[in-house]
Amino acid sequence: MNNTFGKNIGISIFGESHGAGIGVVMGGLPSGIKIDFDKIQSEMERRAPGRDKLSTARKEGDIPIIESGIFEGYTTGTPLCALIKNSDTHSKDYSKLKTHMRPGHADYTGYIRYSGYNDYRGGGHFSGRITAPLVFAGAVAKQILETRGIIIGAHISQIASIKDNKFDSQNLSAELFRKLLIKQLPVIEDSKISDMTEAIIKAKEEGDSVGGKIECAIIGIPAGIGNPFFDSVESIIAHLAFSVPAIKGITFGVGSDFASMSGSEANDEFIISGDKVTTKTNNNGGILGGITNGSPIIFETIIKATPSISKEQNTVDIENKKEVKLQITGRHDPCIVQRAVVVIEAIAALAILELNLSVTS
Amino acid sequence: MNNTFGKNIGISIFGESHGAGIGVVMGGLPSGIKIDFDKIQSEMERRAPGRDKLSTARKEGDIPIIESGIFEGYTTGTPLCALIKNSDTHSKDYSKLKTHMRPGHADYTGYIRYSGYNDYRGGGHFSGRITAPLVFAGAVAKQILETRGIIIGAHISQIASIKDNKFDSQNLSAELFRKLLIKQLPVIEDSKISDMTEAIIKAKEEGDSVGGKIECAIIGIPAGIGNPFFDSVESIIAHLAFSVPAIKGITFGVGSDFASMSGSEANDEFIISGDKVTTKTNNNGGILGGITNGSPIIFETIIKATPSISKEQNTVDIENKKEVKLQITGRHDPCIVQRAVVVIEAIAALAILELNLSVTS
Amino acid sequence: MNNTFGKNIGISIFGESHGAGIGVVMGGLPSGIKIDFDKIQSEMERRAPGRDKLSTARKEGDIPIIESGIFEGYTTGTPLCALIKNSDTHSKDYSKLKTHMRPGHADYTGYIRYSGYNDYRGGGHFSGRITAPLVFAGAVAKQILETRGIIIGAHISQIASIKDNKFDSQNLSAELFRKLLIKQLPVIEDSKISDMTEAIIKAKEEGDSVGGKIECAIIGIPAGIGNPFFDSVESIIAHLAFSVPAIKGITFGVGSDFASMSGSEANDEFIISGDKVTTKTNNNGGILGGITNGSPIIFETIIKATPSISKEQNTVDIENKKEVKLQITGRHDPCIVQRAVVVIEAIAALAILELNLSVTS
Amino acid sequence: MNNTFGKNIGISIFGESHGAGIGVVMGGLPSGIKIDFDKIQSEMERRAPGRDKLSTARKEGDIPIIESGIFEGYTTGTPLCALIKNSDTHSKDYSKLKTHMRPGHADYTGYIRYSGYNDYRGGGHFSGRITAPLVFAGAVAKQILETRGIIIGAHISQIASIKDNKFDSQNLSAELFRKLLIKQLPVIEDSKISDMTEAIIKAKEEGDSVGGKIECAIIGIPAGIGNPFFDSVESIIAHLAFSVPAIKGITFGVGSDFASMSGSEANDEFIISGDKVTTKTNNNGGILGGITNGSPIIFETIIKATPSISKEQNTVDIENKKEVKLQITGRHDPCIVQRAVVVIEAIAALAILELNLSVTS
């Protein structure tokens, strides 16, 4: 099955955690967009490992090399390839993983899917590391979208059982998004930072890990973007979101609450504000019938705890077909939610780029 | 943007609620699959309106006419087109909708997307009625999957605030799915039927509507189906699920609970059962790294209350750019969750067909 | 393999020669295009059989029924489905074809491809009749392109060994294309009509058939349409051209003559005409590097003689695996070149629609 | 418009002639194919410049670096990226090309398509150099196809007005293809080598260039590969062929001769040979109704003379909108036909890989 994403943009992600390099090719881009490399690099660093005591000790420069598609600082419109060479790889840490399938990981499913020929080192192509090129692509997409007035931000809405406030659809701004970026953990309600940090450190000490949720908002998006069958805004965002390892759920607007709300509660009444049609509330997360209504797009993703834990686990040896004990050594994060925030923003940007390029009438 | 779904299957849905006909073209099908038309028709009836007091009074035969792709009872392998002619259309009921945007519906977004040229009658191409061809396509997909031992079932897991039990991954069977089919409402715990029915009737009496959730399971699916970036099993199912009107969320396995579970709780340990590798628990809903692990695929969708309510609502007149009151007359369901069950099964079947046809190594 | 065409438009063709109906679904269309149904019907009649003594005696109304996608005379932008019911089918004529593979036809390859489940009657999905929906789709595409000033015409450039003049790139006009339409055979040089007619009648009398070539031109096309790897203008036109049964070759501009021309002869010098950059000659058929240069697009297709001939032929009985003699009865054309002219125009229109909708920068 | 090729394989080509690097990402590959890197390198060298007096003096190692998708010598099944760094670039040679549009090249169309933001140096993304990654991809595809018994070869069938013999469909073999590889020019009839060489040298001396034709054959291909509308074998091969710069025509089987052959001459009679159905002749180039019939696939491409000539030419200065004289300096080939042979084989291999992976019934 062909590995590319998009009818308008053609995104290909490649690479394995411990191979020569990882990267992305982006096609279908508009030409003439000025690219700010510093901004791209700061996006890369939001995801990069080894930044603080909450993350894995693996350090990677994660500096994308532009192989093509940018000339004299502007997109050419022809395919843009960015390559990130792998450097700080401790392959020996993973030798046991050739046979011992880590629970919660793709070791077993990858083994079956590729008849044992997959690169098992560090999860290979299934590694969270492969989201680095996604972040690069998202950073480029964001810059393209910004020229159209579309801005994206996200915050940690939950870690373990600690919940942040939700976005207030009426009070979203580039300013708010910037404020989130400089916090130790990107949450709306500052008082949650210490509780969340504590939960992560506790998990680390126990050789365990924690999951959470990330809420993302897209502002400045015009009405009329998206499609009914089959490429709704929700379809495209969800398709990309579920490409990100560890994402196990996505909801739009009030999400799970829709189940218990009546129609009269859930419907967003239309009003006229200035000379513009808008909605009084934004329960639907800016999307009706798969198409934007001009209110901010709001969605939340559910992220499972990283399956790499140092606690001993029961599993199987796939080559010898027997049950074994497994203790995962090597470096890994007790929580990847904070590093995933920029990844979620990236897939949001790519989804909107895909959709925004598609309007033809 | 091209309207088709699938890299392997090529599904096109067409039609408007009050146009001449609605239908579907399915490409990429295997040839030589015997089609049971009675089974297809009974699937169509699970979705069809006018079946009981809980549904809209609109009655449609919903009898698909096979225009192509089936010869002497077997799929030919060339594109299969099924057409459903519209008959019981009361177009006059909808004349006001040309200008008065129904809250929660796609009237406004469709108007903007298509510059006012969309067929507004009964929601046009955005109508829930357009799920009828999806159900047809799903019914065909199910029959193809059954030849490979893959079976799909679903139940209402919530209506308003009344929750059914969840599927028990260890006790899923074709027998269970058949039992669900003959209940008044397809729930696991029979005692919930009367509460749910009451909630729907109450909403109807109040001129309001209720939402809910549907949980779906796919059994008999082999390990090794799916892909990492970008066509994970979750991506493909979610992409199709969000094509269905009113779906606002999807979660896999334990879903929202993942956020608060630790890694050691969430990880499904691998065990050997007989000579087969399997998992002890199925928190991950049968999918790891975007690829099936051989356990049942389990997912849940969130369905918002149907936005068509007879209570008076505030909205805008799009032609005259002013705020107006709207009272929706015409026929509509107080709850579409029970009718959506077979739609969710259909998109599950189409997703697996898309993925199952794609395995090349 | 999914059966749809296009990244921007999503075209699905369905139907078998002797099934219930044939048709097309077109997605990704712009909304708000006024459709002239008389023009569509006159396009359908250019292809329809039974028009004169040169064609098969089969008569089909070939009247497309609009099932969806057009509302109050304008495209809605949602999928447009047109259905043509089959009526004048003499299925018994084809009963022997279940086993006796007609040379030059797809009987054998279809049998192998679909494991014998294909509809063999009249060629089934491989029948030239399936070009009727293509002509419909092309007629719609032409009307969309005309709103952008793009016009398409074609002529028979060869039948058997009789050659018409080639298009003169400097003297192409809508007027010329209209004149071609009303001739008995659409050729530039009227004197060729009688020779070509004679060649066709001679073939008919001998129970044989003749082939030929069709040259097509697209005028009013702006510069800058198309792509380098992989969706060049030539790639898209050729992809569609080779979907048409009996097409066995396509060349652009001076075509085969390129092989023996030197670079200095083949290069089209750029000149300034008025305030516009254009080329002095048009050897390259309006395309450089896969992208239009503003000169007319010119291409020629090679059409093999229709393989249905009444002369006795040697072939095999596929069920009984033995060599047999075959005498094809039933109705068939001694020449399909004149009927194929509008089909070639149709694929040209669809190709440009696909490309024109794709320009994003 | 997304830049990828294939529904089954997902090929992305990236790079500019004078950028950092060029390369390819291949998706949808089967896992577990052993890759012979020496064979790949010898394919690269068949295309590489600077090999003899007939080619450009530019020397490039053209050594592909495997970034991903191959592990311990076998394909992993996850995306394979190969990168070729650019080294021997004389960018100053091209400075004038920013404004002076070379006739016959994509300078002007690229300028318009990308609003002047394309990398103009050496043709940028339109450069023939970008076929190097295509050759790499083709070399991998060939190795995959060989495991299925499918072998591809090609020869120069014409240079300027000198024609080689055509392939004899009955006498094609891997042995013949190997013999072609070691000749000074890959032709069937050795006596043509000196005439062709002379024509090339004459053109070089005159500051001009010559074109030609390449005939390609695919043997060992089973019957039943391909599709009717829209992905015929011819469609897929032609789509890829017209992605290659300088290709201006493609014909299958007897090609242009089809126009003047009668049906009784053109039809290939079916016979039984051993216990196998085959055809007595192979006029149709192994394809009927868009699907292989088991005979060798044979096609021929028309290649225009390379437009880079040192003779002075008239053209325009695009920035200053005036007519100018242009004398192209820098390095270029008087004939690229001999270097294009392996490129044509590559696109044949990729086309068959795309199609062969798609058979589902």
Contacts of B8 in chain D (CB under 8 A): 7, 358, 360
Kindly tell me the sign of the dihedral angle through the C-alpha atoms of A91, A93, A98, A102.
negative
pLDDT of residue C95: 72
Q: Is the pLDDT of residue A97 over 90?
A: no
Return the residue in D5, D227, D360 with the most chain B beta carbons within 10 A, the one to mutate for interface testing.
D360
Band of the pLDDT at C52, cuts 50, 70, 90? low
d(CA B2, CA A358): 9
How many beta-carbon pairs under 8 angstroms link A with B? 391
Pairing of strands C21-27, C10-14: antiparallel
Token readout for D291 is 């699907």
Nearest to B67 among C75, C83, C119 (CB): C83
Residue C207 φ/ψ, nearest 5 degrees: 70, 30
- Chain A residue with CA closest to B104: the answer is A267
d(CA D156, CA B138): 51
Contacts of C261 in chain D (CB under 8 A): 211, 304-305
C357/A78 Cβ within 8 A: no
A30/C361 Cβ within 8 A: yes
Token readout for D314 is 């008239």
Q: Is the pLDDT of residue B195 over 70?
A: yes
Q: How far is C284 from chain B (nearest CA, A)?
A: 30
Band of the pLDDT at B332, cuts 50, 70, 90? confident
Q: Is the pLDDT of residue B174 over 50?
A: yes
A211/B258 Cβ within 8 A: yes
d(CA A128, CA A58): 12
Q: What is the mean pLDDT of residues C319-339?
A: 90
Contacts of C136 in chain B (CB under 8 A): none
Please state the separation of Cα A296 from the chain's center in Å.
19
Neighbours of chain D (3+ CB pairs under 8 A): A, B, C
Element (H, E) at B125: none
d(CA B346, CA B143): 11
Short-list C178, C129, C140, CA closest to C37: C140
d(CA A157, CA D62): 50
- Is the previous residue joined to A230 through a cis bond, with omega within 30 degrees of 0? yes
Residue A163 φ/ψ, nearest 5 degrees: -105, 135
Token readout for D316 is 């325009």
pLDDT of residue D59: 60
d(CA C211, CA D251): 15
d(CA A165, CA A163): 7
pLDDT of residue A358: 60
Band of the pLDDT at B361, cuts 50, 70, 90? very low
Q: What is the DSSP letter of B102?
A: P
Between the CA of residue B152 and those of B155, B345, B358, D36, D360, what are the distances in Å?
11, 6, 19, 44, 22
DSSP 3-state of A279: strand
> How confident is the model over B107-160, as pLDDT tens digits?
999 999 999 999 999 899 999 999 999 999 999 999 999 999 999 999 999 999
| Percentage of chain C lying above the pLDDT 90 cut | 88
C208/D314 Cβ within 8 A: no
Q: Is the pLDDT of residue C195 over 80?
A: yes
Contacts of A254 in chain B (CB under 8 A): 248
pLDDT of residue A360: 42
Pick left, alpha or beta for residue A122 (phi over 0 → left; psi -120 to 50 → alpha; otherwise beta): left
The torsion defined by the Cα of D331, D337, D343 and D347, in degrees rounded to 10, comes to: 140
Short-list B345, B58, B306, CA closest to B160: B306
Short-list A336, A231, A290, CA closest to A6: A231
Token readout for C117 is 């489940």
- Exposure string for B323-354, b = 16+ CB within 10 A, e = fewer: ebebebebbbbbbbbbbbbbbbbbbbbbbbbb
pLDDT of residue D361: 38
Asked if residue B308 lies in contact with residue B102, where contact means CB atoms within 8 angstroms, the answer is yes
Q: How far is A31 from chain C (nearest CA, A)?
A: 6
- Chain B residue with CA closest to A156: the answer is B259
Q: What is the DSSP letter of A135?
A: H
Neighbours of chain C (3+ CB pairs under 8 A): A, B, D
Between the CA of residue D329 and those of C263, D99, D136, what are the distances in Å?
15, 15, 29
B360/D28 Cβ within 8 A: yes
D360/B30 Cβ within 8 A: yes
- Contact residues for B101 (Cβ-Cβ < 8 A; gap 6+): A270, A277, B107, B108, B111, B315, B316, B317, B318
d(CA B135, CA A103): 36
Band of the pLDDT at A93, cuts 50, 70, 90? low
Please state the separation of Cα B181 from the chain's center in Å.
15
> How confident is the model over A6-41, as pLDDT tens digits?
999 999 999 999 999 999 999 999 999 999 999 999
Q: What is the DSSP letter of A56?
A: -
d(CA B284, CA B277): 16
DSSP for A315-352, written as a single string: EEETTTTEEEEE---S---S--HHHHHHHHHHHHHHHH
DSSP 3-state of A216: strand
**Can you name the residues that pair with B153 across neighbouring β-strands?**
B217
Token readout for D5 is 């090729």
Band of the pLDDT at B60, cuts 50, 70, 90? low
Between the CA of residue A246 and those of A196, A199, A241, A336, B263, what are the distances in Å?
19, 19, 10, 9, 11
Nearest to C68 among B8, B22, B28 (CB): B22
pLDDT, averaged across chain A: 93
Q: How far is C114 from chain B (nearest CA, A)?
A: 6
pLDDT, averaged across chain B: 93
d(CA D97, CA D91): 10
Q: What is the DSSP letter of C103?
A: T
Whole-model pTM: value is 0.96
ipTM comes to 0.96
Asked if residue C69 lies in contact with residue B23, where contact means CB atoms within 8 angstroms, the answer is no
Neighbours of chain B (3+ CB pairs under 8 A): A, C, D
> How confident is the model over C201-210, as pLDDT tens digits?
999 999 999 9
Band of the pLDDT at A88, cuts 50, 70, 90? low
Q: Which residue's structure tokens are 């295509």?
A: D134
Element (H, E) at B250: strand B247-252
Q: Is the pLDDT of residue A324 over 60?
A: yes
Return the residue in B7, B76, B291, B361 with the most chain D beta carbons within 10 A, the one to mutate for interface testing.
B361
Residues of chain D with pLDDT under 70: 50-60, 88-94, 331, 358-361
| Percentage of chain A lying above the pLDDT 70 cut | 94
- Exposure string for A65-90, b = 16+ CB within 10 A, e = fewer: ebbbbbbeebbbbbbbbbbbbbeebe
Token readout for A321 is 């077909």
Degrees, nearest 5: CA angle D295-D256-D200: 100
pLDDT of residue C360: 42
Short-list A17, A48, A50, CA closest to A341: A48
Asked if residue A276 lies in contact with residue A294, where contact means CB atoms within 8 angstroms, the answer is yes
B361/D77 Cβ within 8 A: yes
pLDDT of residue D62: 87
pLDDT, averaged across chain C: 93
pLDDT of residue A361: 38
C-alpha atoms less than 13 angstroms from C-alpha of B154 in its C-beta half-sphere? 24
pLDDT of residue A332: 78
Asked if residue C15 lies in contact with residue C130, where contact means CB atoms within 8 angstroms, the answer is yes
DSSP 3-state of C13: strand
> How confident is the model over C251-300, as pLDDT tens digits?
999 999 999 999 999 999 999 998 899 999 999 999 999 999 999 999 99
Residue D322 φ/ψ, nearest 5 degrees: -145, 160
d(CA B48, CA B52): 10
pLDDT of residue B88: 65
